[in-house]
Structure formats: C-alpha cells, structure tokens
C-alpha cells in the first residue's frame, strides 16, 4: 500500500511538473511574440497553480511593465524582491521606475541611490544628486504652455506628429481602417499601425484667460499604398520641401513577414519620394537587417544626417540612438551617439529641432515615470550636453515620447498614455508662449441665445431631428444643431455683437425653410424664431406646389422644373419608391382636347423626372384625365361664372406613391459640431477691426488739427 501511494505521489508530481512546463512554454511563446496581454494572463494562472518562482514573478512584472501597466508591474516586482534574497540590479531599477511612475518618488530615489554602487547605473545617482536634471516648464516664469488632447484621438494607439509646411501633420494610428474586422497585433490586441495625415489649425481657446490658442488636427486621411500595408507603419518624417519621406515599417517584403533567427519580427527604415502627388519608389535603407530592428527616423536641420533607433549588436542598452551621414551616393556607417545619450535601457524617438537641440525619450535616464522626454544640445564637435528631463507638462508618470516642435520653437506635439487620455497612446498638441508677448483682452462672452421650434406646415406638429444651421452674411455656417423631440432648437452663448444671420432648417422629405434673425448686444437677449418645414410626403402622395404650363402647351417651364426637383429628391431619398402621375385640367375647352392635353403634360412630366436620373421603371404610369375629376362646380355649365382662382384649383397633378415609401436610402446626417471658439475668434477680429478704425480715425483727426494749427501761424499756407 505504501509503495502504491508513493508511486501515485510521484506520478502526481511528474504530472504537475509537465503541466507547469507546458503552460510556461506557451506563456513564454506569447511573451517572445510581444503578446504581453496574453502572456500576463498565462503567467498569473501558473502562479495561482503554485509556481511562485523568481522566473514567473519576473515575467509577470515584465508583461505588465511592457504594456505600461505600472500598478500591476509594481505589485509583481515588489513580490519578486521580497521573496528573493538576490535580485539583479536591472530589476531593482525597473521597480524604482514603476515606483516613480506611481508617484512614489522618495522611495524610488532612495532605491536608486542605494543600488547605484552595485550596478551600471551610477549615472542615475549623479542625476538625482544634480538639482538641474529636471527642466520643469510648469515653473519657468517667462514661459507658459497650452497643451491639449487632440479630438481625433481614438480608443486605440495614436502617436507621433510631424508637421509639414505648417499645413499638414502626419502621424501613426492603430484605429481600424474599415468597419470590417481587422487582424490584431498580439502585443496589445489592437489593429496594426498605419500612417495618416490631417490638416493643421490654430484656434483661440474659449476657456483661456490669457488669450491662449490650441493646435488642432482635422480631416484625418489614411495614406494609400505603397506606404501603408496590412502590417505596421509609423513615425513618418519629411525633408523640408516635402518630397522625401522616411518611415518605419515591420520587416515585410510585400509578400510575407520576415523573421530573425529567434523568430522575432524586427523593424526597418524605408524611404519614399513624392511624384505627381503620389508616394512612389518605396525602398529599404541599406543599413537595415533581418537580425535587429532599425526605426524611428529623424533628420538634422541641414538634412545631411539621419538619426534612428536600433538594438543592433554592440550597443549600450536595449535600444540606442544612432546617426548616419546622408551622401549623394548613399549612406555612411551608423554611429552610436555614445554614453552621454544612451544608457543600459531604452532610448527612443529622436527628433532634432531647428536650433540643433536633440530631443529623445528614455527610461534609462532619471524621469518622472516610464519613458520621459529629454533634450540635449548637439555641439559643433559632435558631442552632447548632459540630457535634461523636460519635466511637467511634457512628462508624466506614464510613457511620454515622440516629441516634435516646429522651426519657430513655438508649437508641436508629444505622445503619451498618461491618465485621463482617450485611449492607449494619445497625441497632445502644445503651444509655448513667452509671457512678454502683448496680451489682447478677449471680449466678454455673452449669454444671449437664439431659440425656436421647427414645425410642420401641414399640421403645425413639431419636427424632431431637423438640422438647423446658423449662417452669417458671408454664407459661412457658424453653428449647427438638431431639433429636439418637441421640435425645439437653441444656439446659446452667442457673442455680444449685433449681427445678421440666416436660420436654415432642413430634414429628409421636407422642403427647407429660411428665416432671418438679428442678435443683440446685451446679455440675456433671447431671439426667438420658428422654422416651418413643408412635408413632401403626405399620406400616399408626394405633395409639391402646383406646376404650371403655358397655354395650350405641355413643355416643362422653369418654375415647374423647380417644383419637380422635389419629386426627384424624394425618389432619390427612397431608392425603391415607385410612383404614378395623374394630370388634370379645368373645364374650359373640349373634353377630348383637355384629356389629350393633360395626358401630354403628364408624360412630359414623366420624361423630365427620368431625365434627372430616375429609372423609367420607377414611374409606373403617367396619365391625363382632362376635366373628368373637377374639385368644384366649375363644369361646362358654370365655367363662365368661375373665377380664375377657382379654375386654377382644377389644373393640378398628383404624384401617387405605389410602393417603397418606407425604403429610406439617405438618412438625416448628424450636424457637424462646430467649435464655438470660431465665434470667439470672429468676435475678436471684429473688435480688433473696430479698435483699428477708431485708432486710424483718431490719427486722421490729429493730423488735420496739426495742419490747421500750422496754417494759422503761417500766412503762406494755402
């Protein structure tokens, strides 16, 4: 019995060992494929089954660390250090990093200073002891920074930002390209990165007390092939004339992904040129390799040097920053920037400003959290000043990277996964102000509003979800709104300016309405204006104003064409709608003559509708009934007694809906939300124009006065 129990116990131990071994191999495979979300779940399952080895704790910490989950990483690194007497200094440093990221600076600094003599991070101790290692922009008296999360950020990873000619910005995003299900990148379970471009705008901030503005991006557009593929593309940069682009792509040759000896897919640098508005001739740079990564390009101001990031053999850390000369016949040999810049950890995302300042991100130099942004001056002898941490607000407790600033040193972008973002990585725009700049006082924001109801002309019922546009005298749409369930709409917080506007109300299958309004100059002014929309579908008919023909003719007149366009609009809104046309005349003239005339007019109406692109099959019939169906007593016996208005009532056409009224192919679009800061900007310009006119008037008055005084003293002045 004892032997059987012992054998059973041995079998259980062997079986458990095999399970742990198999589970660990699966988790390791995901970890090595950078699928850190999956690897973390598997390692945690292994830990719960009883494997609390240092190996599992390290991998748990690393899985969360590599996905910027610093709270979870701190938990597992702390457990690793407490449960093991000896822990490598690089894990102590990672623990110190996540402590800083989680706001525990004193504990982090104490740990860094403690482990510095035992490791290769003695420079960290020097940085901590140097009071000038942190350039905190939030505390610089003569500078102020306006920084905002971009509206085009998505729940996915969005980062980068390279401004071309002050008009367009290029960046990377993992947002899905289409509504269809896309392949996901195992690292973070997101779609693959692609390169996009958007238009730049600088607009004043509504909530600013110091006349600040914000840099925004609009009209996001995906770059086409051959730049974007089904895999990763990112970090585009451009030469000044915008004709050459360098960018990063995974090692994909257009047919398959290529891997190194360890089955890892690396990054490579590519170059493409612009020809006839198309990016062509994508070529791989010669210092790429299948065995290591090369990416994140940056150009020197003179465009003779290309900077990049690589984990090629012989480097100082996990990833280092390199540079290479750009020659007429190719490229020089890559050169490591050295120990002043590169550490034993990661240096990434270089950018060189117009003043020869090198900006880069690092988790090896002492920072506020994980990746932080640093700056250093490139000297003439190709050496570098000691890197300085940019501090708040550029850096946070999380990853901060991909710094860009324009040639004037005023506006640019950073990327970060800091708290209160919209997704994974977000792009933030910034504008740097000098305090000595002239301050223009913004006009007071009024609380006056324009309000009213959108109603149906048929029965005065409210029309919900109608689009209401506020249009200025130049035809520019200033604001848009949707009417509520009760038909009400409102434009609030209008500026205190007496201004003429047009209100335009539209909705699918209704005739639009336009009304004029004039705003006041006092707070609390309420301008009320209703909009009356005429329904084009009532019951089983498309209803339009009467269409008229010249006497004894069936030619479609211009005024009739205008009304018939409403029929075309409704049928375009309902692609499967089929109608029939009936035309009628008054009693004047012979019965047979009237029948033939009305029939010609019905068929002429049908031909016009078809000529506007409506399929012939959708107009089932077009028949004239002459005077057979009069609406009043203006028959042959009484026709001389009836007024012209009474006869006109009988001259009519009906457009009956046979089928397809419920088949809506075009829906009311939700209005574009126009930023109210545009109103404030316009208000500011108007006030500046007014002040300028007053100033010029004053100057003219003074000049006349001086001239008049001169003439009084000088008898020769004529």
Dist. CA 153–CA 173, nearest whole Å: 9
Over 90: is that where the pLDDT of 405 sits?
Answer: yes
Long-range contacts of 372-380 (CB under 8 A, 24+ apart): 372/400, 373/400, 373/401, 373/403, 373/414, 375/135, 376/340, 376/341, 378/352
Dist. CA 434–CA 438, nearest whole Å: 9
Question: Quick check: bond before 393 cis, omega within 30?
Answer: yes
Confidence of residue 435 (pLDDT cuts 50, 70, 90): low
CB-count burial class (<10 Å; 0-12, 13-18, 19+) for 702: exposed
Over 70: is that where the pLDDT of 111 sits?
Answer: yes
Supply the pLDDT for residue 715. 40
Fold classification of 448-535 is Immunoglobulin-like (2.60.40)
Select, from the ranges 1-10, 162-171, 690-699, the one with the highest average predicted confidence (pLDDT).
162-171
Query: 137-177+185-434 domain in CATH 1.20.1600.10?
Result: no
Over the stretch 148-158, which tens digit does the pLDDT of each residue have?
A: 898 889 888 89
Phi/psi at 219 (nearest 5 deg)? 60, 60
Class of domain 2-129: mainly alpha
Dist. CA 406–CA 165, nearest whole Å: 10
Closest CA to 57 of 70, 43, 69: 43
Which residue matches tokens 């990063």? 248
Over 60: is that where the pLDDT of 110 sits?
Answer: yes
Q: Do domains 2-129 and 137-177+185-434 have the same CATH topology?
A: no
Confidence of residue 131 (pLDDT cuts 50, 70, 90): very low
Neighbours of 215 (CB within 10 A): 24
Strand partners, 359: 351, 375
Over the stretch 56-92, which tens digit does the pLDDT of each residue have?
A: 999 999 888 887 788 898 899 988 888 887 888 778 8
Over the stretch 262-281, which tens digit does the pLDDT of each residue have?
A: 788 889 999 999 988 889 88
Over 60: is that where the pLDDT of 674 sits?
Answer: no
159 close to 170: Cβ distance less than 8 angstroms: no
Q: Which CATH number is associated with domain 541-659?
A: 3.30.1330.60
Supply the pLDDT for residue 310. 94
Strand partners, 659: 578
Neighbours of 677 (CB within 10 A): 18
Over the stretch 176-200, which tens digit does the pLDDT of each residue have?
A: 876 555 555 554 556 788 999 999 8
Dist. CA 47–CA 27, nearest whole Å: 12
94 close to 77: Cβ distance less than 8 angstroms: yes
Q: Please calculate the CA angle 153-154-160 and round it to the nearest 5 degrees.
A: 50
Supply the pLDDT for residue 607. 92
Mean pLDDT across the stretch 695-700?
60
Over 60: is that where the pLDDT of 10 sits?
Answer: no
Supply the pLDDT for residue 565. 81
**Can you give the pTM of this predicted structure?**
0.50
Beta strands in 223-300 (DSSP E): 233-238, 244-250, 267-275, 278-284, 294-299
Mean pLDDT across the stretch 104-115?
70
- Sign for the CA dihedral angle at 546, 547, 548, 552 comes to negative
Supply the pLDDT for residue 285. 95
Supply the pLDDT for residue 26. 73
Domain ranges of the chain: 2-129, 137-177+185-434, 448-535, 541-659, 684-718
Confidence of residue 690 (pLDDT cuts 50, 70, 90): low
Q: Please calculate the CA angle 298-301-304 and round it to the nearest 5 degrees.
A: 75
Beta strands in 495-642 (DSSP E): 500-506, 510-511, 513-518, 526-528, 531-535, 537-538, 541-542, 578-584, 619-624
Supply the pLDDT for residue 104. 80
Supply the pLDDT for residue 622. 93
Q: Could you say which DSSP state residue 180 is in?
A: S
| Lowest model confidence (mean pLDDT) among 5-14, 482-491, 633-642 | 5-14
Confidence of residue 7 (pLDDT cuts 50, 70, 90): very low
Mean pLDDT across the stretch 12-33?
60
Over 70: is that where the pLDDT of 602 sits?
Answer: yes
Quick one: angle between helices 2-32 and 54-66, nearest 10?
A: 30
Over the stretch 208-249, which tens digit does the pLDDT of each residue have?
A: 556 677 888 888 888 888 888 888 899 999 999 999 999 999
Over 90: is that where the pLDDT of 623 sits?
Answer: yes
Supply the pLDDT for residue 691. 52
Q: Which residue has the higher pLDDT, 127 or 300?
A: 300
Dist. CA 233–CA 268, nearest whole Å: 10
153 close to 426: Cβ distance less than 8 angstroms: yes
Structure tokens at 363: 């988790």
Over the stretch 646-662, which tens digit does the pLDDT of each residue have?
A: 887 888 889 999 998 88
Share of the chain above pLDDT 70, in %: 79
112 close to 128: Cβ distance less than 8 angstroms: yes
How high does pLDDT run on average in the chain? 80
Q: Which residue has the higher pLDDT, 402 or 202?
A: 402
Mean pLDDT across the stretch 498-526?
88
Over 90: is that where the pLDDT of 296 sits?
Answer: yes
Q: Which residue has the higher pLDDT, 533 or 565?
A: 533
369 close to 399: Cβ distance less than 8 angstroms: yes
Which residue matches tokens 């925004």? 216
Mean pLDDT across the stretch 658-672?
65
Over the stretch 335-376, which tens digit does the pLDDT of each residue have?
A: 999 989 998 888 999 999 999 999 999 988 877 767 899 999
Confidence of residue 666 (pLDDT cuts 50, 70, 90): low
Phi/psi at 316 (nearest 5 deg)? -95, -20
Structure tokens at 115: 């482990």
Q: Which residue has the higher pLDDT, 709 or 493?
A: 493
Confidence of residue 625 (pLDDT cuts 50, 70, 90): very high
Supply the pLDDT for residue 246. 96
Q: Is 34 left (phi over 0), alpha (psi -120 to 50) or beta?
A: left
Mean pLDDT across the stretch 436-443?
52
Supply the pLDDT for residue 631. 87
């Amino acid at each position: 019995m004892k032997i059987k129990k012992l054998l059973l116990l041995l079998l259980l131990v062997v079986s458990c060992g095999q399970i742990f071994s198999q589970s660990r191999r699966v988790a390791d495979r995901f970890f090595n494929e950078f699928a850190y979300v999956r690897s973390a779940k598997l390692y945690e399952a292994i830990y719960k089954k009883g494997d609390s080895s240092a190996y599992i704790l390290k991998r748990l910490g690393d899985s969360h660390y590599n996905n910027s989950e610093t709270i979870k990483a701190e938990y597992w690194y702390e457990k690793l250090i407490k449960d093991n007497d000896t822990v490598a200094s690089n894990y102590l440093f990672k623990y110190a990093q996540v402590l800083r990221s989680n706001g525990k600076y004193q504990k982090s600094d104490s740990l860094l200073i403690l482990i510095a003599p035992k490791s290769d991070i003695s420079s960290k101790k020097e940085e901590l002891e140097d009071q000038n290692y942190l350039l905190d922009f939030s505390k610089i008296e003569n500078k102020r920074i306006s920084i905002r999360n971009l509206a085009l950020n998505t729940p996915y990873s969005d980062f980068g930002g390279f401004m071309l000619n002050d008009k367009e910005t290029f960046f990377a995003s993992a947002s899905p390209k289409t509504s269809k299900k896309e392949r996901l990148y195992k690292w973070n379970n997101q779609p693959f990165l692609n390169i996009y471009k958007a238009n730049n705008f600088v607009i004043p901030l509504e909530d600013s007390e110091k006349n600040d503005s914000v840099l925004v991006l609009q009209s996001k557009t995906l770059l086409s092939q051959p730049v974007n593929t089904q895999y990763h593309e990112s970090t585009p940069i451009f030469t000044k004339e915008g004709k050459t682009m360098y960018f990063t792509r995974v090692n994909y040759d257009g047919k398959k992904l290529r891997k190194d000896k360890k089955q890892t897919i690396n990054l490579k640098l590519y170059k493409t040129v612009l020809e006839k508005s198309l990016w062509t001739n994508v070529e791989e740079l010669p210092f790429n390799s299948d065995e290591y990564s090369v990416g994140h390009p940056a150009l020197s101001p003179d465009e003779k040097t290309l900077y990049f990031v690589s984990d090629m053999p012989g480097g100082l850390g996990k990833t280092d920053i390199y540079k290479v000369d750009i020659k007429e016949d190719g490229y020089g040999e890559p050169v490591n920037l050295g120990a002043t810049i590169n550490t034993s950890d990661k240096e990434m995302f270089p950018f060189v400003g117009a003043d020869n300042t090198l900006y880069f991100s690092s988790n090896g130099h002492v920072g506020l959290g994980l990746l932080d942004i640093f700056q250093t001056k490139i000297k003439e002898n190709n050496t570098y000043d000691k890197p300085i941490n940019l501090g708040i607000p550029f850096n946070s407790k999380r990853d901060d990277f991909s710094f860009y600033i324009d040639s004037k040193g005023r506006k640019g972008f950073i990327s970060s996964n800091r708290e209160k973002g919209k997704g994974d990585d977000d792009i933030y725009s910034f504008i740097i102000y000098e305090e000595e700049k002239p301050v223009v006082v913004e006009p007071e924001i009024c609380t006056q509003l324009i309000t009213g109801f959108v109603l149906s002309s048929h029965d005065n019922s409210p029309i919900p979800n109608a689009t209401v546009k506020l249009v200025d005298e130049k035809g520019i749409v200033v604001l848009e709104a949707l009417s509520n369930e009760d038909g009400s709409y409102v434009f609030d917080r209008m500026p205190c300016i007496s201004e003429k506007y047009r209100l335009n109300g539209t909705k699918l299958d209704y005739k639009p309405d336009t009304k004029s309004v004039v705003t006041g100059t006092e707070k609390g002014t309420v301008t009320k204006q209703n909009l009356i929309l005429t329904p084009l579908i009532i019951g089983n008919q498309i209803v339009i104003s009467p269409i008229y023909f010249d006497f004894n003719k069936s030619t479609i007149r211009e005024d009739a064409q205008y009304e018939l366009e409403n029929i075309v609009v409704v049928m375009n809104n309902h692609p499967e709608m089929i109608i029939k046309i009936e035309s009628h005349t008054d009693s004047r003239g012979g019965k047979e003559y009237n029948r033939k005339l009305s029939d010609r007019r019905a068929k002429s109406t049908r031909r016009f509708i078809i000529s506007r692109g409506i399929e012939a099959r959708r107009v089932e019939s077009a028949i004239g009934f002459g005077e057979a169906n009069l609406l009043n007593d203006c028959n042959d016996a009484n026709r001389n007694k009836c007024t012209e208005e009474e006869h006109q009532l009988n001259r009519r056409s009906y457009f009956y809906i046979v089928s397809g009224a419920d088949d809506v192919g075009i829906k009311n679009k939700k209005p574009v939300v126009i930023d109210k800061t545009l109103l404030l900007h316009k208000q500011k310009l108007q006030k500046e124009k007014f002040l300028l006119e007053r100033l010029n008037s004053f100057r003219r008055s003074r000049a006349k006065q001086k001239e008049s005084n001169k003439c009084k003293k000088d008898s020769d002045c004529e």
